[in-house]
Amino acid sequence: MRLSGRDCGFCRNPFAEGASTLHIFIEKSDPANAMSAEYAKHTTTDHSIPDGDAFAFAELHYHQSGEELLATLNRELNLHIGEKSGWYNKPTIVNPLVPISVVSPLFSFFSSPITNTKPNKNFTLLDAYHYIIGDTAKERTQKLRSFGDAKQSRMFKAANFDYCTFSGTFATRTDKALINHSGLLCIDFDHLQNLDSLRSQLLQDEYFDTQLLFCSPSGDGLKWVIEIDISQTTHADYFRAVANYLFQTYGVEADKSGKDVSRACFLPHDPNCFINPNFSEI
């Protein structure tokens, strides 16, 4: 199955001996509203099964319904809904006798401009935190936010802001050159109407412990760094699952570039940057 835009085209139908009669697509509940909920729907050309949504398809596949089906989906898709102790709530134990760089995830740091794809060094969350709250990017962040032209802002940011790849260390900034995945995912929210409200909600989220949270270089967005477990599924699939959760829970859309493991994240000045206490200096 391959998704092109919002349509998977015709796929093999397990209810018709694998014939390509199953059409799967994504449909908004209100096409006129860009923020309306989206649902996966299916139809078949041979009428082997009734038209319906993902839950109707799951009922046919598992021969279950109601709470029994929801419990199965929760288990099979590793959703952990309702669990109070999962990998995402598991505290990181910091040994004060061990240097913080040893216990903290590592990722690559790149000096500006964005065309520089060779990392300068490895960073920890604490390194990023000190960079962001410090004065290194203060002047360039203030200058960027003074621009009134979007194109000028993009060009200035690309030429002057250092950046990192939160999801891992790289030989060069490309997905194929990943050395080690950090176990981190950076979610980018742009052009927020209620930035402070979302910031508070993310810090209190029931399922994900915030590792790092800071304001974007533009000043109207947020960068949210959380832990993920890629032994459960791929980086890209985790991003899609988290993005869907955020949309359904808070009504905000994550920048789709987060699905790329080598995604670059510009580092601005934000004196109110939050870091998980597990990575604070002892």
Residue 187: inside a domain, yes or no?
A: yes
| Whether residues 260 and 128 fall in one domain | yes
| Whether residues 194 and 244 fall in one domain | yes
- List, as one string, the DSSP characters of 127-183: HHHHHHHSSTTHHHHHHHTT---HHHHHHHHHHH--EEETTEEESSSSGGGEEEE-S
| Whether residues 239 and 203 fall in one domain | yes
| Whether residues 196 and 116 fall in one domain | yes
| Whether residues 118 and 71 fall in one domain | no
Residue 89: inside a domain, yes or no?
A: no
Task: Output the pLDDT for position 85.
Answer: 46
| Whether residues 143 and 253 fall in one domain | yes
Q: Which domain holds residue 169?
A: 100-279
The series of mean pLDDT values per 10 residues for the chain, 282 residues long, is 71 89 84 72 90 88 86 77 51 43 79 96 95 96 94 95 97 96 95 93 94 96 94 90 93 91 96 89 48
Task: Output the pLDDT for position 95.
Answer: 45
Task: Output the pLDDT for position 32.
Answer: 75
Q: Across-strand partners of 225?
A: 186, 212
Residue 157: inside a domain, yes or no?
A: yes
| Whether residues 104 and 232 fall in one domain | yes
| Whether residues 67 and 104 fall in one domain | no
pTM of the model: 0.66
Residue 82: inside a domain, yes or no?
A: no
DSSP state of 259: G
Q: How many residues does the chain have?
A: 282
Task: Output the pLDDT for position 102.
Answer: 38
Residue 168: inside a domain, yes or no?
A: yes
Residue 84: inside a domain, yes or no?
A: no
Q: How many domains does the chain have?
A: 2
| Whether residues 123 and 252 fall in one domain | yes
